[in-house]
Amino acid sequence: EEKISQLTDEVKRLKTERNALILAHVYQRPEVQEVADIIGDSLELSRRAAATDAEVIVFCGVHFMAESAAILSPDKIVLLPEENAGCPMADMVTAEELRAKKREIPNAVVVAYVNTSAEVKAECDICCTSANAVKIVQSIPEDKPIIFIPDKNLGSYVANKTGRAMTLWEGWCNTHDWVTPEEVRKAKEEHPNALVLIHPECRPEVVALADYVSSTTGLIKYAKESDAKEFIVGTEAGIMHQLYKQCPDKDFYLATRRLVCPNMKATTLEKVKQALETMQPQITVSPDIRQKALVSLEKMLAVK
């Protein structure tokens, strides 16, 4: 406890000294969320990274998020406190594999979930996050075939919602894909009055049991505005900190204890401090890849 409060003070001091903005995804550790200037889902964090005038962005999240910030803000120093914090789903598609798929369906529009590398973003037509995926797909002319990468679960959710046939990629999030319908049913039996909140990275059988499906920020907003007092939560455990903070009079039950993303938990307060001290590890993207990836990210941000 004492260590955390001491580290918190040091991070805050260094943050001012460096003119840095700390962005944290809602899956981050509670103490990391507490030092952040902005806490949000992937979409909000990209928007903020694009808009800030801070000189330094400390991205408390995973590699693809910091990379997106570097693409959107090339003049800024982007730090990822734990360099090895990756996203296993993002690693399930390479630029080369995508190029091969594009050759199979040459007139297809490629929609890439932001959980992809900069090289893959450079090969796609438009990006999306879980918060805007439905709108992004709806923005594509109906006569165009769509390749959706890399999350087959988000892809099938969006295909269902929009009625669009899409070629899905064989990719998934190890954390969300772990949740089984049995676990959700059991949680419902234990908490019969609870509403079920599910992230679309969960399997279709789990999504089918949801009262509400949305990105992390969408789930928090729904819990806040709902009349219900209890909720079963089908997304990464870090969200519990914001749910309890923003809805102190409500109860939340994680659908399963396995809903933990080790990569999101790899960033500690100590590492945030070290990053601000040493200005390392910095995330950069080569100019040619950056130019192309930027087009896909900006197209996404322009869809309202």
Minimum CB distance to ligand 13P, residue 194 (Å): 20
The continuous run of DSSP H or E covering 9 comes out as: helix 2-17
Neighbours of 141 (CB within 10 A): 6
Closer residue to ligand 13P (CB): 14 or 71: 71
Which among 92-100, 247-255, 256-264, 273-281 is the span making contact with ligand SF4, rule CB under 6 A? 256-264
Question: Does residue 173 belong to the site contacting ligand SF4 (CB under 6 A)?
Answer: yes
Query: What radius of gyration, in Å, describes the C-alpha atoms of the chain?
Result: 19
Q: Which of 141, 145, 148 is nearest to 127 (CA)?
A: 148
Which among 40-48, 76-84, 221-229, 246-254 is the span making contact with ligand 13P, rule CB under 6 A? 40-48
Question: Does residue 11 belong to the site contacting ligand SF4 (CB under 6 A)?
Answer: no
| Measured distance CA(60)–CA(176) in Å, rounded | 20
Strand partners, 233: 197, 254
Judged by CB under 6 A, which of 264, 272, 275, 289 binds ligand SF4? 264
Question: Does residue 41 belong to the site contacting ligand 13P (CB under 6 A)?
Answer: yes
Q: What are the distances in angstroms from CA 302 to CA 50, 69, 139, 218, 298?
A: 12, 16, 11, 19, 6
| Measured distance CA(240)–CA(220) in Å, rounded | 9
Question: Does residue 88 belong to the site contacting ligand SF4 (CB under 6 A)?
Answer: yes
Question: Does residue 115 belong to the site contacting ligand 13P (CB under 6 A)?
Answer: yes
> Pick from ligand 13P, ligand SF4, none: which does 131 bind, CB < 5 to 8 A by kind?
ligand 13P
> Euclidean distance between the first and final Cα of the chain, in Å?
43
- The answer on whether 207 is annotated among ligand-binding residues is no
Q: Is 251 helix (H, G, I), strand (E, B) or coil?
A: strand
- The answer on whether 63 is annotated among ligand-binding residues is no
Q: Is 203 helix (H, G, I), strand (E, B) or coil?
A: coil
Q: Which of residues 57-86 bind ligand SF4 (CB under 6 A)?
A: 62
Binding track, positions 211-240, relative to ligand SF4; x by CB under 6 A: -------------------------x----
Neighbours of 278 (CB within 10 A): 10
Per CB under 6 A, residues contacting ligand SF4 are: 62, 87-89, 115, 173-176, 201, 236, 261, 263-264
Q: Which residues are annotated as a binding site?
A: 25, 42, 87, 113-115, 130, 173, 199-201, 216, 261
